[in-house]
């Protein structure tokens, strides 16, 4: 099922890239954009995790650099029956976490420095167990490709906007339709965001449930989610909107307004806590 989701996701986002190329350069522009998308999909399969870590300015750490955190991840991943993931820390005061990578054998669990400082041990374990659940559920590739492709589509929309401004002097067959370019500028980023929205909610609910099983209790994660949500409202995080859905709670909540709040890819914290509480 996850492989099917990845295939459908890549197909849909590739179609959006092709539409951007068509808006900019007609049929030839569409072919160039589709070739570009194919290369991008291959590149992101192998490199998207490192791109996400760079977006969060995260640094990989080993056992000697962060012994308590490393041992905690190691202990919980054994309970989950997973290989040891790479551990990373992002230098953000806002407490948050995410998992990325193309497979359990190439997975990364990243926490912010604020998470380590502001969570107690049981809460931190709950957060890490949630991220290990994403790895166990094999949905990191799906969410990572979603985030990176959404960012690429937003960039192409901006290119199309400039193309409309400075693309005169050629006929529509070469340049593409200005009306199509205008539609693409408006629709493509929203469509990419809605794809993220569609897959993220159930993914988070499932990771909460599996994370509680890995941890052995639901209370730590439930308390952590309340704290994460409260701190996200007060402590801003400087991170690209395209990779924000990877985090355990919306890291851009403090920014308020805009499309990031209108099309939130995260289910409400209240509903997540209620489901965890029902698990006992």
Look at residue 24 and tell me whether its pLDDT is greater than 70. Answer: no
Q: Which domain holds residue 171?
A: 2-56+122-130+139-279
CA 213 – CA 109 distance, rounded (Å)? 18
What is the arithmetic mean of pLDDT over 137-143?
77
pLDDT at residue 156, as a whole number: 63
Of the ranges 53-57, 148-152, 184-188, 276-280, which is most confident?
53-57
Q: What is the pLDDT of residue 172?
A: 47
Q: What pLDDT does 259 receive? A: 46
Mean pLDDT for the chain? 81
Average pLDDT over every residue of 130-139? 92
Packing angle between helix 178-215 and helix 121-136, nearest 10 degrees? 120
Burial of residue 191, with CB atoms counted within 10 A of its CB: 0-12 exposed, 13-18 middle, 19 or more buried: middle
For residue 72, is it within any domain?
no
Angle at 108 between CA 270 and CA 211, to 5 degrees: 35
Which whole number is the average pLDDT over 63-85? 97
pLDDT at 134: 93
Residue-level pLDDT at 170? 47
Kindly state the tokens that stand for 60.
């990989």
106, part of any domain: no
In a domain, 214, yes or no: yes
Which tens digit of pLDDT belongs to each residue from 231-241? 999 999 999 88
pLDDT (0 to 100) of residue 261: 46
- Does the residue 82 lie in any domain? no
22, part of any domain: yes
Residue whose structure tokens are 């509903």: 271
Does residue 93 belong to any structural domain of this protein?
A: no
For the chain, the distance separating the N- and C-terminal CA atoms, rounded to the nearest angstrom, is 28
- Per-residue pLDDT band for 10 (boundaries 50, 70, 90) equals low
Helix axes 121-136, 67-80, angle to 10 degrees: 50
- Report pLDDT for 262: 47
Of 187-201, 211-225, 239-253, the range with the highest mean pLDDT is 211-225
Task: For residue range 172-198, list pLDDT tens digits in order.
Answer: 444 556 666 666 667 766 776 676 666
From the list 131, 204, 213, 271, the catalytic residue is 131
Residue of 158 and 206 predicted with greater confidence: 206
Distance CA 224, CA 142 (A): 25
Does 43 reside within a domain?
A: yes
Quick one: which H or E segment has residue 108? strand 107-112
- 167 or 66: whose pLDDT is higher? 66
Specify if 148 maps to a domain: yes
How many distinct structural domains can be found in the chain?
Answer: 1
| pLDDT tens digit sequence for 141-166 | 776 666 666 666 666 666 666 655 55
Q: Return the pLDDT at 203.
A: 82
Is residue 131 part of the annotated active site? The answer reads: yes
Query: With 0-12 CB in 10 A as exposed, 13-18 as middle and 19+ as buried, what is 62?
Result: exposed
Higher-pLDDT residue of 46 and 135 is 135
Determine the pLDDT at residue 92: 97
């Amino acid at each position: 099922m996850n492989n099917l989701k990845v295939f459908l996701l890549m197909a849909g986002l590739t179609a959006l890239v092709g539409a951007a190329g068509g808006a900019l350069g007609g049929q030839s522009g569409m072919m160039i954009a589709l070739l570009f998308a194919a290369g991008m999909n291959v590149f992101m399969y192998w490199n998207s995790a490192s791109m996400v870590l760079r977006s969060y300015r995260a640094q990989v750490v080993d056992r000697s650099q962060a012994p308590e955190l490393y041992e905690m991840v190691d202990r919980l991943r054994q309970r989950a029956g997973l290989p040891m993931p790479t551990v990373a820390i992002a230098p953000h005061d806002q407490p948050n976490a995410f998992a990325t990578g193309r497979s359990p054998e190439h997975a990364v669990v990243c926490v912010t420095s604020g998470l380590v400082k502001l969570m107690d041990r049981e809460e931190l374990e709950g957060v890490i167990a949630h991220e290990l659940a994403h790895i166990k559920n094999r949905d990191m590739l799906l969410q990572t490709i979603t985030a990176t492709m959404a960012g690429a589509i937003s960039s192409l929309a901006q290119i199309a906007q400039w193309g409309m401004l400075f693309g005169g002097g050629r006929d529509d067959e070469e340049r593409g339709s200005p009306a199509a370019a205008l539609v693409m500028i408006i629709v493509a980023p929203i469509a990419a965001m809605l794809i993220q929205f569609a897959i993220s909610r159930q993914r988070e609910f499932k990771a909460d449930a599996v994370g509680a099983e890995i941890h052995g209790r639901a209370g730590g994660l439930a308390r952590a989610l309340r704290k994460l949500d409260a701190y996200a409202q007060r402590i801003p995080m400087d991170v690209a909107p395209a990779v924000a859905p990877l985090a355990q709670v919306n890291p851009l909540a403090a920014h308020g307004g805009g499309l990031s709040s209108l099309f939130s890819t995260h289910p409400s914290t209240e509903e997540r806590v209620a489901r965890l509480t029902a698990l006992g």
